[in-house]
A and B are shown apart, each in its own frame.
Chain A
Amino acid sequence: MSSHRIQNPFARIDTSRPLSFTFDGQSFGGFAGDTLASALLAHGHRMLARSFKYGRPRGIVGAGAEEPNALVQLEAGPLTIPNVKATQVELYDGLSACRTTGWPSLAYDAKSIGGHFSRFMPAGFYYKTFKWPAALWPRVEPIIRHAAGYGSAPVDPDPEQYDHQHHHADVLVVGAGASGLLAALGAGRAGLHVILVDEQNEPGGWLLSAPHAVIGGQTASDWLKTTIGELKSLPNVRILARTCAFALHDMNMIQAVEQLHDHVAPSARPAGERRQRLHRIRAGRVVLASGAIERPLVYGNNDLPGILTAAALTTYLNRYAVAVGKRVLLLTSNDHVYQGACDLAKAGCSVVLADTRSTINPAWEKRARAAGVDVMAGYGIAEAHGGRAVKGAHLVRLHPERIAVAGNGPFIDCDALGSSGGLSPTVHLYCHDGGRPVWDEKRLAFVAPATGRAKAGIYVVGAASGEFGLQNALAQTCLTTAELLATFDKASAIATLNVRTDEPDLQPARRIFRLPDGKPEGHGKKAFVDYQNDVAASDIHLAVRENYRSIEHIKRYTALGFGTDQGKLSNVNGFAIAADALGKSIPEVGTTTYRPAYSPVTFGTLAGAHAADTFEPRRYTAMHSCHVARQAEFEPVGQWLRPWYFPTGGEDLHAAVRRECLAARRSVAMMDASTLGKIDIRGRDVREFLNRVYANAWTQLAPGKCRYGLMLDENGMVFDDGVTACIADDHFLMTTTTGGAARVLTWLEKWHQTEWPELDVYMTSVTDHWATAAVVGPKSRQVLAKLCTDIDLSPAAFKFMDWREATVAGVAARVFRISFSGELAFEVNVDASYGHHVWEALMAAGREFGITPYGTETMHVLRAEKGFIIAGQDTDGSMTPFDLDMAWAVSMKKPFSFIGKRSFARSDTAKSDRKQLVGLLTDDPQVILTEGAQMIETSNTAPPVPMFGHVTSSYFSPELGRSIALAVVRDGIHRRSEDGVKAGRDIMYAWAGGKAHKVRIVSAVFIDPQGARQNV
């Protein structure tokens, strides 16, 4: 048996299952049911950490989520977890943990040197220093950064998995203490769909620390057994242990994280299981039964290892069979510690209980003395003594009314010290979506009123609502639950439950937070409010002195409540001390904002399954496997993956593209164009509709014909383009860009539904239905002819910009004679189920002509040679059709003022010297300009240099044997050489990465301006 372990049959540890673990490399033993904290305390291991700013020795203070000091690094390597609270680590065999602070060692911490000068490092220290010389700060900052921080992030990818689960429940109960269990029972018996979550490894809450309490004639432990038993038997109730509700969002959407792995030895973790699961619970009603956390009192040196909250001392004793000390000094302002004091005394500890109240609850005093507790009324602690552990404390007699020292008191030596300043209700979730806690002067607490947010479906029961006595808590839970059930028109089956307990009535607590030591604030020993951030009472007074008077300023100036405990122990003390310093009441000071997370939650849990290859969708075409088989390199385009180029025999991008381009220009090549958006549009008014949403005119287009269209936003700027075919008089098929498909469909629907519902037109996406192969090149007709015999492919019968129904490779197809390359080309569209078949059939048919598959890169080169734009590359949301020199694609005569038209007339948009799309030719034909190079007028580049536009597209054209580029240039259209401009205006420089290349501004069409080739 380790030194501090006692016999306690009620404890929740299993002494028949010993476990071994290491801390900082040292081996220890513990039992199943222990936490890392209880197991270390069982060995009398006190100091676990050094403080953030002053490097002061620190030990375990709490017994759960409130722990500010004992942050450890759990395990090592890929499975390591930084900053876990030792009080929340369930022990398993072989567990290994390390401290996160204390350098070079816990015993000797470099920061403690600073500690000696702590008076020169008050709150706001950094803001006042290292300002001069300017060069100083950059050198100091890295040192500060290395002194900061607790645990270390892993450096390897996370080997474990996470997921999300969505629930829709009638009632979610947060907290499975006495109150939560009872509320769940009420809702469960009423037949509602109930979820009960508790962040601890087993239900029970405080009752697990008070096993001797009596409820309706049963001991607490029996009451728990029966109650939990019944809940488990109800099919409509689900209990989730190790599940922390960390956030409450609008309309009662609660996020809760369930721990599935961390309490199990890595070797024993079931494969395929998740480490953590995010439960997203949409609850009709929420019952907050989240209890309360005892706050410590604030006095000199109150941060010594061995000083805990009284509640924690009680919990370690009753739940973990650990007597943290043999000689225990307790300090309280209220009744809550008395039961614990009795239990400690009964367990054989010598217990002195100093009560700051001069008149104390006689009933409790009787019980305490009977148990052998030495009770001292009207005493406080001036300061605690000790180095790496508490050795004792210097008591003072307190003035019965004023917060002042009335006289000297004894020095009590002790090896454990616990204090209680009262309970702070756990109101966090009540406040996450805008709720505010209310200061209750009688209970000396910020409480969440039981039905304060009933309208929103949020109910609060038990300690969370300020009902601190067990019986009151349970009685109030019954009432509140009945109110909740009434909103479901259900009667309560727990209304008449016997919840009588054996506690004496509560006597009011004393209103005291910072104990007096007879000295002005800041003169005595540092009295800590927020342990994790080394915030002392004097820092709060200093902040106020410097006019950081809003509680939010105090928080931000001192870092009060900024830590990984989010001020669970410190905030209320901080607010009260601030009120004192400000001469205001506590409600006037108010609280800081409670925000998620109640307890920290891993990024992995938040991401859930949206990681690795399911991070975001990858969309594939029906021909994808054909491209994979041909070793294509892929490029993400929107959500899609498209073949970028098809390297063969170790080719690089340029070699492959060169080969692919020449094939398209000289013989035949093929591209997968399936990703283009396709929208089937039908209705009597379809032409009128197209007239409104496109810049050009659609009234005349005959069935069997296609037309290119520009789509503008209302600001007059091009945002999408594509070819639209007339299927029948009232029926069109629109194509959009790959990335734009979804946006365009929503855009069209929005205009139709919200502005022009009277138009007779329907739109349906058929993007996924069609697989499209673009057969491109002089020999494309021959290839197609081999597979398509039921239509006349001759130039006369099947003209450029025509489309036909046909059978290709035995499959019904729509063949479009359109071209994005300027070559003779046919786009074969088939039911995607046949996409693979048709692609392979075309490849086979084309083999004799050396048919060459090509990807997006070659597609870009081919279209650039023709001066065809790519929306999103040659446009950036600031280009009108005129800027693109595409006036031919705008019909200003259309009666209806199409989308974007009016904007052309605005003074800036109407300017003739806007940035316009042109072609560029470099002096040196081998030089390929950088896409994104800036256009300037001189080769002199001493900034600031006036810029006139930029290069949008740039390639080496294998066909021309030279480089070509597209650019947008201010007044570009009037600078083009062809149009015989004033000498020199056509000469500019394209500047990128420090190099300026001389270029000539030319037409954007580099090949076949008459379009002869596509018409053959």
Chain B
Amino acid sequence: MFVLHCPHCGEKREEEEFGYGGEAFIARPLAPETIDDVTWGEYLFMRKNPKGWHWEMWSHNTGCRKFFVVKRNTATHAIDGSWTLADARKLYDAESKAS
């Protein structure tokens, strides 16, 4: 049972205050009409679902109602940190470039 740090409220809170928002950074195609059904289907349904580090969204339901990003290990439940969407984006891009 997790304790998550809400970057907006600036506090660690119990899991029950939050709602899970799924895989982070699934970008919506900018021009959906121009892509084929397969590409659209990938965006709609296909997920990384990694065993290991996972960039995921949570929303602080009982608090600030903001979505934010957590990097969590799905095998060990270790948490690397949580950030606002904007800050996380930078780290994520840097990480993606590195690998």
Contacts and interface: CB of A to CB of B under 8 A. Distances in A.
A790 interface: no
A897 B29 CA distance: 10
B40 interface: yes
Contact of A903 (B2, B40, B57, B85): B40
A486 B77 CA distance: 26
A962 interface: no
Contacts of A746: 19, 59, 61, 65
Given A749-B67, A753-B66, A902 B33 contact: yes
B contact patch SS: mixed
Nearest to A750: B67
A746 B60 CA distance: 11
A250 B77 contact: yes
Given A250-B1, A754-B85, A906 B21 contact: no
B40 A906 contact: yes
B44 interface: yes
B44 A897 contact: no
Contacts of A282: 3, 14
B76 interface: yes
Given A897-B31, A903-B44, A750 B21 contact: yes
Nearest to A166: B14
A22 interface: no
Interface in B24-58: 28-29, 31-33, 35, 37, 40-41, 44, 57
Contact of A902 (B19, B21, B32): B32
Interface string A152-167: 0000000000000010
Interface string A235-274: 0000000000000011101000000000000000000000
A715 interface: yes
Interface string A170-205: 000000000000000000000000000000000000
Contacts of B31: 897
A754 B57 CA distance: 10
Nearest to B61: A746
Nearest to A753: B67
A294 B44 CA distance: 57
Contacts of A253: 1
A90 B28 CA distance: 64
- Most chain B CB within 10 A, of A166, A902, A903, A905, is at A902
A715 B44 contact: yes
Contacts of B21: 750
Could you tell me the dominant secondary structure of chain A's interface residues? helix
Contacts of B29: 902
Nearest to A742: B61
Interface string A735-754: 00000000000100110011
A434 interface: yes
Interface in A848-904: 897, 901-903
A222 interface: no
A755 interface: yes
Nearest to B43: A714
A750 B59 contact: yes
A251 B14 CA distance: 10
A159 to B, nearest CB: 29
B3 A907 contact: no
A903 B32 CA distance: 9
Contacts of B32: 897, 901-902
A749 B2 contact: no
B65 to A, nearest CB: 6
B44 A250 contact: no
A746 to B, nearest CB: 7
Contacts of B3: 251, 282
Contacts of B2: 250-251
B65 A749 contact: yes
A903 B33 CA distance: 9
Residue from the set B35, B37, B40 with the largest chain A CB neighbour count within 10 Å: B37
Most chain A CB neighbours (cut-off 10 Å) among B1, B61, B65: B1
B81 to A, nearest CB: 14
A624 B59 CA distance: 32
B17 to A, nearest CB: 12
B85 A753 contact: yes
Contact of B67 (A754, A897, A905, A906): A754
Interface string B53-85: 000010101000111000000001100000001
Contacts of B14: 166, 282
Contacts of A433: 77
Nearest to A899: B28
A265 to B, nearest CB: 37
Interface in A557-616: none
Given A250-B77, A251-B2, A753-B85, A902 B67 contact: no
A20 to B, nearest CB: 45
B1 A251 contact: yes
A248 to B, nearest CB: 10
Interface string B1-13: 1110000000000
Contacts of A166: 14
B42 to A, nearest CB: 12
B37 A434 contact: no
Contacts of B35: 902
Given A250-B77, A282-B14, A753-B85, A897 B1 contact: no
Contacts of A750: 21, 59, 67
- Residue of B33, B35, B44 with most chain A CB atoms under a 10 A cut-off: B44
A907 B59 contact: no
Contacts of A251: 1-3, 77
A902 to B, nearest CB: 4
A250 B1 CA distance: 5
Contacts of A902: 29, 32-33, 35, 40
B40 to A, nearest CB: 6
A906 B43 CA distance: 14
A905 B31 CA distance: 14
Nearest to A910: B37
A753 B44 CA distance: 19
B77 A897 contact: no
Nearest to A908: B37
A754 B26 CA distance: 9
A282 B12 CA distance: 12
Given A715-B44, A754-B67, A434 B59 contact: no
Contacts of B37: 905-907
Nearest to A253: B1
A166 B29 CA distance: 45
Nearest to B79: A251
17 contacts: A251-B1, A282-B3, A746-B61, A746-B65, A749-B65, A750-B21, A750-B59, A753-B66, A753-B85, A897-B32, A901-B32, A902-B32, A902-B35, A903-B40, A903-B44, A906-B40, A906-B41
Given A434-B76, A749-B65, A907-B37, 13 more contacts: A250-B1, A250-B2, A282-B3, A434-B77, A746-B65, A749-B59, A750-B21, A750-B59, A750-B67, A754-B57, A754-B67, A757-B85, A905-B33
Interface of B: 1-3, 14, 19, 21, 28-29, 31-33, 35, 37, 40-41, 44, 57, 59, 61, 65-67, 76-77, 85
Closest 3 CB pairs of A and B: A902-B32, A253-B1, A249-B1
